[in-house]
């Protein structure tokens, strides 16, 4: 083993090697691995980052799962109430992994001003509402407090505020239709406590947040009647498993729906990034492997005489192959080192300073290109790249077994 390492070290460190014909080819091979790692790291980090950001925004306004009555209503308005007198409310202790449950209700209405009007959904929330998910999206004003008496303050999106020329502190009237459209509609006056901006236009143009008791009064519901429950869990990857457990822990007259089911199109769209990432990884590994194969072939051909001498001295084919594989392993590690250094450096700069932005934020639901840096995928990527390149290098090393000592020593 020491003999093989000694030969490999002499090959790598010799001046003849560094000034030989193979030197530029080997540098290209190392560069290909480094560039491949940089591209793969960026692809995975940005893909996971975008998925995570979009998922966080949707979950913040809807929860991971919702519990409601079975009905055919496909609108955003609560029609059939659910009682809060449930075993799982206000604490969902029967299922491990549930972090929070809150009661909400929705009511469609029209915001009316002197010059304009806009249809939107009033989402009523109560004192159990977890505002921590929305704090990151608050851009102006404050979060309303619904723990006391009936509160007329609401939180609206900057999208609606810009369309209706609202400012924090403004008041406006909102019109709600009655069941009998011929009757005079309900009119409520609200005061703007603050603006939020999720960057998710489908949510921003649809919802405003207000006191749950307004929706209950508009629908003539009892104080213990709400539209649905929103459930939050601690691990999104266990969403389907948690859905099954929560469904089993709720009464048979109630239905559960995951956020993936509710926003099916959005989640199918972000899953496309997985396929793109897998494609980029496959292409980069193949390119890096081909370059390393080329570099090893050139190195073997350039060292044909040395191979012949080693065979004449009694070295086995496998021991000579290991000399070149050790050499190639060093080159792969060199490429991985530079690739990780450059790739992680670029990702850290983007994460810290947010230099790169999407040209069309509405299309991607975020303005700044997000990155997610995780030790798990970095290790898997490096191990996978190393193993794949090493296995591909086994193919050209077979040529060593075909070299005749006599012909090799005479080789010019």
Whether the model clears a pTM of 0.75, i.e. scores above it, the answer is yes
Asked if residue 258 belongs to a domain, the reply is: no
CB 160 within 8 A of CB 118: yes
pLDDT in tens, 226-245: 999 999 999 998 999 999 99
**Two tokens at 215?**
């929706």
Q: Which residue has the higher pLDDT, 256 or 181?
A: 256
Q: Which of 296, 275, 299, 301 is nearest to 391 (CA)?
A: 296
- What does the alpha-carbon distance between residue 34 and residue 335 come to, in Å, rounded to a whole number? 5
The CA-atom distances, in angstroms, between 325 and each of 129, 222, 336 are: 61, 76, 16
User: Where in the sequence is the domain holding 141, given as residue range(s)?
Assistant: 71-252
Same domain (yes/no): 186, 314: no
Same domain (yes/no): 276, 336: yes
Which residue, of 252, 282, 309, is where some domain finishes? 252
Asked if residue 65 belongs to a domain, the reply is: no
Asked if residue 64 belongs to a domain, the reply is: no
Same domain (yes/no): 146, 234: yes
Q: How many domains does the chain have?
A: 2
Same domain (yes/no): 134, 25: no
What ranges make up the beta strands (E) of 113-176?
A: 117-125, 138-141, 153-157, 171-176
Residue 316: predicted pLDDT = 80
Give the count of beta carbons closer than 10 Å to the beta carbon of residue 283. Answer: 13
Same domain (yes/no): 272, 177: no
Which residue, of 225, 252, 279, is where some domain finishes? 252
Which residue, of 228, 252, 276, is where some domain finishes? 252
Same domain (yes/no): 108, 237: yes
pLDDT in tens, 313-349: 777 888 878 877 888 888 899 999 999 999 999 999 9
Asked if residue 122 belongs to a domain, the reply is: yes
Residues near 339 by beta carbon (within 8 Å), at least 6 away in sequence: 33, 34, 35, 36, 37, 38, 41
pLDDT in tens, 344-389: 999 999 999 989 888 877 777 788 899 999 999 999 999 999 998 8
pLDDT in tens, 247-298: 999 998 899 999 999 888 888 888 887 888 888 888 888 888 888 888 888 8
């Amino acid at each position: 083993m020491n003999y093989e390492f000694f030969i490999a070290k002499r090959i790598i460190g010799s001046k003849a090697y560094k000034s030989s014909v193979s030197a530029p080819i080997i540098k290209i091979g190392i560069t290909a691995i480094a560039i491949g790692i940089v591209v793969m790291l960026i692809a995975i980090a940005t893909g996971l980052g975008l998925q995570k950001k979009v998922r966080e925004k949707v979950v913040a306004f809807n929860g991971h799962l919702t519990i409601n009555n079975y009905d055919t209503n496909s609108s955003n308005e609560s029609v059939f109430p659910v009682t809060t007198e449930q075993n799982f409310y206000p604490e969902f202790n029967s299922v491990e992994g549930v972090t929070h449950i809150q009661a909400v209700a929705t009511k469609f209405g029209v915001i009316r001003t002197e010059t304009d009007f806009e249809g939107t959904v009033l989402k009523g929330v109560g004192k159990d509402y977890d505002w921590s998910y929305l704090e990151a999206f608050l851009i102006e004003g404050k979060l309303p407090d619904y723990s006391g008496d009936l509160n007329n303050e609401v939180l609206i999106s900057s999208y609606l505020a810009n369309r209706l020329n609202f400012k924090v502190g403004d008041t406006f009237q909102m019109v709600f239709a009655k069941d009998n459209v011929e009757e005079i509609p309900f009119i409520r006056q609200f005061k703007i406590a603050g603006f939020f901006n999720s960057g998710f236009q489908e949510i921003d143009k649809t919802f405003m947040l207000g006191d749950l008791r307004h929706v209950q009064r508009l629908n003539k519901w009892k104080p213990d009647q709400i539209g649905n429950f929103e459930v939050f869990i601690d691990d999104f990857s266990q969403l389907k498993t948690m859905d099954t457990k929560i469904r089993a822990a709720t009464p048979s007259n109630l239905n559960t729906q995951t956020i993936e089911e509710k926003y099916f199109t959005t989640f199918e769209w972000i899953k496309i990034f997985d396929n793109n990432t897998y494609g980029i990884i496959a292409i980069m590994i193949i390119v890096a492997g081909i370059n390393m194969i080329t570099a090893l072939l050139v190195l073997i051909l350039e060292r044909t005489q040395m191979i012949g001498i080693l065979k004449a001295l009694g070295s086995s084919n496998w021991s000579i192959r290991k000399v070149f594989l050790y050499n190639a392993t060093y080159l792969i590690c060199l490429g991985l080192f530079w690739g990780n250094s450059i790739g992680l450096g670029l990702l850290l700069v983007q994460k810290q300073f947010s230099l790169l932005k999407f040209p069309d934020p509405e299309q991607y639901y975020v303005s700044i290109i997000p990155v997610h840096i995780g030790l798990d995928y970095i290790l898997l990527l490096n191990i996978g790249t190393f193993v794949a390149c090493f296995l591909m290098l086994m193919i050209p090393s077979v040529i060593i077994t075909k070299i005749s000592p006599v012909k090799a020593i005479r080789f010019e």
